[in-house]
Amino acid sequence: MNQTFLSVVLVLQNAADLDHLKNGLIHLGGHLQKQFSDYEIILVNNRAGVVPKSELEALPFSERKNIYLINLSSRSNTNYAILAGLDRANGDYTVLMEFPFIEENWTERLFEKTQEGFDLVYLRAQNVTSYGSNNLFRKLFYSILKNYSEVRIDPLAHETRIISRRALNSLLRIREDLRFMKPVYSIIGYRSAFLQTEVPLPDFSKVSFREQFRTSLVAITSFTNFLRSIAFWIFGFSCFAVLAVIINAVKVKFTNFDLFGIYHEALSGWAFTVVIISVFFMITSLNFYIVCIYLSNIYQEIKKRPLYIIESVERF
């Protein structure tokens, strides 16, 4: 038996989770009782429905006394529901568990991996079950995160993972209102590893496109410089376009032929007007880019993310 206090966080998202809750708790509680000296199971009811308390009360007292139920007053984003459970966790290690893994002995395997010196260990799928437009949207999302952000996210990572106490304390210091959990695990650092599982990632086609888009927008604006990069490319393109327009206007004025060799009659004042409009367009694009830089810096500043996180202090 491991002399460790383990917290397990389960988020109840829909009615199907409630249907499997009792059997899952019986299996999970029995396993934790054998493998760990002390444990707690934190259920976060994200307005999935009415939790059948009669079924929970039917459990043996030795298991029931370690179960805590948190009912959210209104349905919230999954990431916020996860945070509600992590805030309540008191264990030396905390396992964030998904229902497909509740009846397997993953808690023990995850914990054993942490004993090799890892503070975060997650389950990694071999593939995804999303197809068509959902899969393309997902690939685009992770491509943006990879190329325009310093955080590194495994696109095949499940939410199920174990977190050490010190890593969880650092994670809870990042109190952002707009939250996407997976990049936060990367921000706090610490040594991490994964265990391979044959269970594929959830089918994202069951999640509404509106929710997917909102979550993706939060992640892209919070953890990447993608939109600022777009503003830069708009400015760069405007400079190129303005230069081409000015050269074309001057060429028409003096030769009556544009850059494509098409004849135009040069009108008095036309070239001057085109040049002035083009210059003002370039100045506007430059101002837009500068404003984007300031807004991006202000947005990063108000997040109040820790400037650094100390993993350990040693004295010799």
d(CA 11, CA 91): 17
pLDDT digits (tens, 9 = 90+) for 19-43: 777 777 777 777 777 888 888 888 8
Residue whose C-alpha is closest to residue 167's, from 152, 185, 155 = 185
Residue 204: pLDDT band (50, 70, 90) is: low
Q: What is the predicted pLDDT for the residue at 132?
A: 55
Tell me the residue type at 277: I
Residue 130: pLDDT band (50, 70, 90) is: low
Q: What is the mean pLDDT of residues 149-158?
A: 79
Q: What is the mean pLDDT of residues 233-248?
A: 82
d(CA 9, CA 96): 5
Strands, E assignment, the chain:
2-12, 36-45, 67-71, 93-97, 120-125, 157-164, 192-197
Q: What is the layout of strands, in order, in the sheet containing 120-125?
A: 67-71, 36-45, 2-12, 93-97, 157-164, 120-125, 192-197
Residue 126: pLDDT band (50, 70, 90) is: confident
d(CA 291, CA 309): 31
Residue reference for tokens 């086609």:
205
Residue 316: pLDDT band (50, 70, 90) is: low
d(CA 115, CA 137): 37
Q: What is the predicted pLDDT for the residue at 155?
A: 80
Q: Is residue 129 within 8 Å of residue 207, measured between CB atoms? A: no
> What helix, strand, coil percent values describe the chain, rounded to 5?
50, 15, 30
Q: What is the mean pLDDT of residues 81-96?
A: 87
Q: What is the predicted pLDDT for the residue at 309?
A: 54
> Average model confidence (pLDDT) for the chain?
78
Q: What is the mean pLDDT of residues 42-51?
A: 79
Q: What is the predicted pLDDT for the residue at 179?
A: 67
Q: What is the predicted pLDDT for the residue at 81?
A: 84
Residue whose C-alpha is closest to residue 168's, from 43, 6, 315, 2 = 6
Q: Is the dihedral of CA 286, 287, 292, 295 positive or negative?
A: positive
Q: Is the pLDDT of residue 87 over 80?
A: yes
pLDDT over 70, % of the chain: 84
Backbone φ and ψ for 33, nearest 5 degrees, come out as -65, -35
Q: Which residue has the higher pLDDT, 121 or 209?
A: 121
Q: Which residue has the higher pLDDT, 114 or 308?
A: 114
Q: Which residue has the higher pLDDT, 45 or 180?
A: 45
Q: What is the predicted pLDDT for the residue at 292?
A: 77
Residue 135: pLDDT band (50, 70, 90) is: low
DSSP 208-237: -HHHHHHHHHHHHHHH--HHHHHHHHHHHH
Give the tokens for residue 90: 């008191």
Q: Is residue 219 within 8 Å of residue 211, measured between CB atoms? A: no
Q: For residue 204, give the DSSP letter.
A: G
Sequence ranges of the domains in the chain: 2-223, 226-302
User: Long-range pairs for 180-183 at CB < 8 Å and ≥24 separation?
Assistant: 180/79, 180/215, 180/218, 180/219, 180/222, 180/223, 181/79, 181/82, 181/83, 182/153, 182/157, 183/145, 183/149, 183/151, 183/153, 183/219, 183/222, 183/223
Specify the pTM: 0.71
Q: For residue 267, give the DSSP letter.
A: P
* Residues in contact with 59: Cβ distance below 8 Å, sequence separation at least 6, in sequence order: 22, 25, 26, 29, 67
pLDDT over 90, % of the chain: 1
Q: What is the mean pLDDT of residues 98-121?
A: 84
Bridge partners, 77 (sequence order):
none
Q: For residue 33, give the DSSP letter.
A: H
**2-223 maps to which CATH number?**
3.90.550.10
Q: Is residue 249 within 8 Å of residue 277, measured between CB atoms? A: no
Q: What is the predicted pLDDT for the residue at 203?
A: 64
Q: Helices 270-302 and 226-255 sit at what angle, rounded to 10 degrees?
A: 170
Q: Is the pLDDT of residue 131 over 60?
A: no
Q: Which residue has the higher pLDDT, 142 or 311?
A: 142
pLDDT digits (tens, 9 = 90+) for 281-309: 778 878 877 887 777 777 666 666 665 55
